[in-house]
Amino acid sequence: MSGEFEPASYKPKKILITGAAGFIGSHVTNRLIKNYPDYEIVALDKLDYCSSLKNLHPSRASPNFKFLKGDITCADLMNYLLVSEGIDTIMHFAAQTHVDNSFGNSFEFTNNNIYGTHVLLEACKLTGQVKRFIHVSTDEVYGETDMESDIGNPEASQLLPTNPYSATKAGAEMLVMAYHRSYGLPTITTRGNNVYGPNQFPEKLIPKFILLAMKGQQLPIHGNGSNVRSYLYCADVAEAFDVILHKGVIGHVYNVGTKKERSVLDVAADICTLFKLEPEKTIHYVQDRPFNDHRYFLDDQKLKRLGWKEKTPWEEGLKLTLEWYKKNPHWWGDVTGALCPHPSVILLTDSCGNDDAFFLHNGYEICGRSRLKFLIYGKTGWIGGLLGKYCKDKGIAFEFGTGRLEDKNSLLDDMKRVRPTHVLNAAGITGRPNVDWCESHRVETIRTNVMGTLTLADVCKEKNVLMMNFATGCIYEYDSMHPQGSGIGFKEDDEPNFTRSFYSKTKAMVEGLLKAYENVCTLRLRMPISADLSNPRNFVTKLARYNKVVNIPNSMTVLDEMLPIAIEMARRNCRGAWNFTNPGVISHNEIFELYKEYIDPQLKWSNFNLEEQAKVLVAPRSNNHMDVTKLKKEFPEVLSIKDSIIRYVLEPNKKKK
């Protein structure tokens, strides 16, 4: 075991961390995984708007780490999880925490913070195996501290919450106390000051101000900005939970705080200084919350006696945080709603129903019975059909559109009938049997691929709905800046350079026009592949039916792996253009070799060059390498094209020898 102090009387074996993909929970999880390889950790999170698997990236390759997507309000899941995983320790971070949201959506706070905690406590009582239950609360349960007081609230202070959020946290604390006294549950409660640092969702003050300053926008101050808060850097807080886990005394409460206070105006001024902005011109005063406590001040001596102390000075922590957001400005996708002065429920949450939870390994599972509802266009097409099947299999609400893309009124009727959260557009003309058809049917191709797509995007914008547009990467071809075999791929902002196919020309044209629509996420697929080798649209199936092929490396998309990622991108409200292929390239000959190894040992083929190929084609074909750095940052587990073909396509179809 590594670390700066030795555990005193308690050493856990298997820890359940709820809310592990959230801000504080992820920092604690990553610290424990790194410092205690002998501890097994099960990370649980329902992946609400303010949590992300990316926050747990440092831990996900560790053998002592397992992630489970699920909701703490699901009693059956919690009971099953504690028993099946042999959990002996719980660190309970899961909660709705943003005060502004609680004024407009207080029932959600009651459900998550009180009922969810009750479900966990009851599961501990029923299973009787948990030796330590650390309940994470907040300094806000104490209510407002007198501005003139030099004495912070000790742990024995009366709880006087003043807003719906703090009231639900105080209510949860009462349940924790009752289960400790009535049933002897081994509980510890923490009450913490404000925490800041990398990975924090920007509904909170510091990341919000940083991102607004980066955009050159004004910083909104509630009221007159005199409200005072104490701020702790996330690494120091993670260490505090490390200490409490090992040295905390059962039945006790520990304040996690600092005596160093700053007003909201001070915070804004410090951020202005780091960005070299004039506070007088940058700070903007807005209406205050319905009630805004002026000060929270804690007595932190009890935790210090366990051996913990704050290490990161405010100036250092703020600079570290600012640098992280500069390097990761799109970590949370589109956060426009979070950056407004009074955010409410910013993004659609994806809470599990009472029976729905999925383990995540290399794939991305979406909770069934979620609040997502998709309107899918392209029912008779390959990809549209697969999207519908996936949603049906996973219990995601969806309906297929019946309107024609170029008919705005029929699209508006669909929107009124379905009331979707997202539109998935997989409709379009690719030509049958191939894109050569488009060369002789140009008007029809324009009508659907250009006019229809733009009409749908416009309707979605009018209705404030995100449109996931399944497009193509066949708008590029190898050139002097991106030569074949160089490893240099085309990025999302590169201008299309392949227009020798009319199909590609229309797709490049509409993509350029869609840049004006902020409500569109464009996914560029290439040479789609799936495990269904009977489908004539499957690129592997196409190849296997040819006697001659051009042997050129290309980027390709394995639908079995990538379409679930597309659904997850919709849930995360991703925007803009994305190269949507598996990482790397694979040549046609390499696919044949794999097909021969796994499927048909008798397969034979030969090659011809591009000039010979041109003699049998009406329109030239695009060959390119797509750079998927952007996608890999969002989904680091996505497999390379070769590995994905083997895992999702060839292994399931492998012929027994």
If DSSP codes are grouped into helix, strand and coil, which group holds residue 80?
A: helix
Average pLDDT on 197-213 reads 93
Q: Does 507 fall in a domain?
A: yes
Residues 6 or more apart whose Cβ sits within 8 Å of residue 313: none
In this predicted structure, the answer to whether residue 543 has a pLDDT above a threshold of 80 is no
| Burial label, 136 (beta-carbon count in 10 A; 0-12, 13-18, 19+) | buried
The pLDDT assigned to 148 comes to 65
559-571 and 382-394 are packed helices; what angle lies between their axes, rounded to 10 degrees?
70
320 and 193, same domain (yes or no): yes
Domain assignment of residue 541, given as a range: 368-650
What residue type is 623 in one-letter code?
N
Q: How far is CA 610 from the centre of its chain?
A: 42
Q: Choose the weakest-confidence range: 163-177, 251-265, 287-301.
A: 287-301
Q: Choose the weakest-confidence range: 178-187, 309-318, 361-370.
A: 361-370
The pLDDT assigned to 322 comes to 96
The pLDDT assigned to 614 comes to 57
Average pLDDT on 133-156 reads 81
More confident call, 374 vs 619: 374
174 and 261, same domain (yes or no): yes
Bridge partners, 196 (sequence order):
233
- What whole-number distance in Å separates Cα of residue 47 and Cα of residue 371? 13
The pLDDT assigned to 140 comes to 87
496 and 625, same domain (yes or no): yes
> pLDDT over 70 for what percent of the chain?
88
For the chain, how many structural domains are there in total? 2
532 is catalytic: no
In this predicted structure, the answer to whether residue 354 has a pLDDT above a threshold of 60 is no
pLDDT tens digits for 599-611? Answer: 888 888 888 776 6
CATH number of the domain that 332 lies in? 3.40.50.720
Q: How confident is the model at residue 573 (pLDDT cuts 50, 70, 90)?
A: confident
335 and 430, same domain (yes or no): no
| Structure tokens, 31 | 């610290």
Residues 6 or more apart whose Cβ sits within 8 Å of residue 560: 530, 531, 648, 649
The pLDDT assigned to 314 comes to 95
The pLDDT assigned to 351 comes to 33
The pLDDT assigned to 501 comes to 84
In this predicted structure, the answer to whether residue 149 has a pLDDT above a threshold of 80 is no
- What whole-number distance in Å separates Cα of residue 52 and Cα of residue 568? 11
339, 358, 388 - which closes a domain: 339
E strands, 437-511, where? 466-472
402 and 319, same domain (yes or no): no
Q: How confident is the model at residue 353 (pLDDT cuts 50, 70, 90)?
A: very low
339, 357, 377 - which closes a domain: 339
- What whole-number distance in Å separates Cα of residue 569 and Cα of residue 372? 12
77 and 199, same domain (yes or no): yes
In this predicted structure, the answer to whether residue 164 has a pLDDT above a threshold of 90 is no
Q: What values do phi and psi take at 283, rounded to 5?
A: -80, 135
Q: Does 63 fall in a domain?
A: yes
Active-site choice (45, 71, 100, 140)? 140
Q: How confident is the model at residue 168 (pLDDT cuts 50, 70, 90)?
A: very high
Residues 6 or more apart whose Cβ sits within 8 Å of residue 590: 553, 642
Active-site choice (45, 48, 100, 139)? 139
- What whole-number distance in Å separates Cα of residue 518 and Cα of residue 509? 17
Q: How confident is the model at residue 110 (pLDDT cuts 50, 70, 90)?
A: confident
Q: What is the DSSP string of 338-384?
A: GGSSS--S-S------TT--EE-SSS----TT-S-EEEEE-TTSHHH
If DSSP codes are grouped into helix, strand and coil, which group holds residue 283?
A: strand
Q: Choose the weakest-confidence range: 231-240, 574-583, 585-594.
A: 585-594
| Burial label, 107 (beta-carbon count in 10 A; 0-12, 13-18, 19+) | exposed
Residue in the block written with tokens 């201008």? 495
Active-site choice (36, 39, 165, 390)? 165
140 is catalytic: yes
| Structure tokens, 156 | 């024995």
The pLDDT assigned to 657 comes to 43
Q: How far is CA 270 from CA 210, 211, 263, 318, 513, in A?
A: 10, 14, 11, 9, 41
- What whole-number distance in Å separates Cα of residue 227 and Cα of residue 294? 4
The pLDDT assigned to 358 comes to 33
72 and 152, same domain (yes or no): yes
Q: Does 347 fall in a domain?
A: no
If DSSP codes are grouped into helix, strand and coil, which group holds residue 57?
A: coil
319, 339, 359 - which closes a domain: 339
Q: Quick check: 76 and 84 in contact, CB under 8 A?
A: no
pLDDT tens digits for 316-338? Answer: 999 999 999 999 998 988 887 77
E strands, 199-343, where? 219-222, 228-233, 253-256, 261-263, 283-286
pLDDT tens digits for 418-466? Answer: 999 999 999 887 766 666 677 778 888 888 889 999 999 999 999 989 9
478 and 571, same domain (yes or no): yes
Q: Choose the weakest-confidence range: 28-37, 68-77, 235-244, 344-353.
A: 344-353
The pLDDT assigned to 635 comes to 87
The pLDDT assigned to 97 comes to 74
Q: Does 358 fall in a domain?
A: no
Q: Does 357 fall in a domain?
A: no
Q: Does 345 fall in a domain?
A: no
What residue type is 43 in one-letter code?
A
| Structure tokens, 593 | 């070799």
334 and 373, same domain (yes or no): no
380-417 burial string, b = 16+ CB within 10 Å, else e? ebbbbbbbbebbeebebbbbbbebbbbebeebeebbee
Q: Does 3 fall in a domain?
A: no
Q: What is the DSSP string of 392-441?
A: HHHT-EEEE--S-TT-HHHHHHHHHHH--SEEEE------SSSTHHHHT-
pLDDT tens digits for 400-415? Answer: 999 999 899 999 999 9
More confident call, 551 vs 643: 643
Q: What is the DSSP string of 431-452?
A: -SSSTHHHHT-HHHHHIIIIII
Q: 0.95 exceeded by the pTM?
A: no
Nearest CA to 98 out of 46, 155, 23 is that of: 23
627 is catalytic: no
Peptide bond before 433: cis, by omega within 30 degrees of 0? Answer: yes
335 and 374, same domain (yes or no): no
If DSSP codes are grouped into helix, strand and coil, which group holds residue 614?
A: helix
309 and 376, same domain (yes or no): no
Q: How far is CA 485 from CA 173, 494, 524, 570, 625, in A?
A: 61, 18, 21, 33, 9
pLDDT tens digits for 277-308? Answer: 999 889 988 876 555 666 676 888 999 999 99
180 and 239, same domain (yes or no): yes
Residue in the block written with tokens 């309906």? 399
Q: What values do phi and psi take at 153, rounded to 5?
A: -65, 120
Q: Choose the weakest-confidence range: 111-120, 512-521, 613-622.
A: 613-622
Q: Does 599 fall in a domain?
A: yes
The pLDDT assigned to 456 comes to 96
164-183 and 116-127 are packed helices; what angle lies between their axes, rounded to 10 degrees?
10
Q: Quick check: 152 and 300 in contact, CB under 8 A?
A: yes
pLDDT tens digits for 44-91? Answer: 999 988 899 999 999 988 999 999 999 999 999 999 999 999 999 999
In this predicted structure, the answer to whether residue 618 has a pLDDT above a threshold of 70 is no
Q: How confident is the model at residue 103 (pLDDT cuts 50, 70, 90)?
A: low
SS (H, E, C) 550-594: CCCCECCCEHHHHHHHHHHHHHCCCCEEEECCCCCCECHHHHHHH
In this predicted structure, the answer to whether residue 533 has a pLDDT above a threshold of 60 is yes
| Structure tokens, 540 | 């592997």
If DSSP codes are grouped into helix, strand and coil, which group holds residue 523?
A: strand
| Mean residue pLDDT across the chain | 86
Residue in the block written with tokens 């011109």? 281
pLDDT tens digits for 458-493? Answer: 999 999 899 999 999 999 999 999 999 999 999 999
Strands of the sheet containing 40-45, edge to edge, are 253-256, 187-192, 132-138, 89-92, 14-18, 40-45, 65-69, 358-359
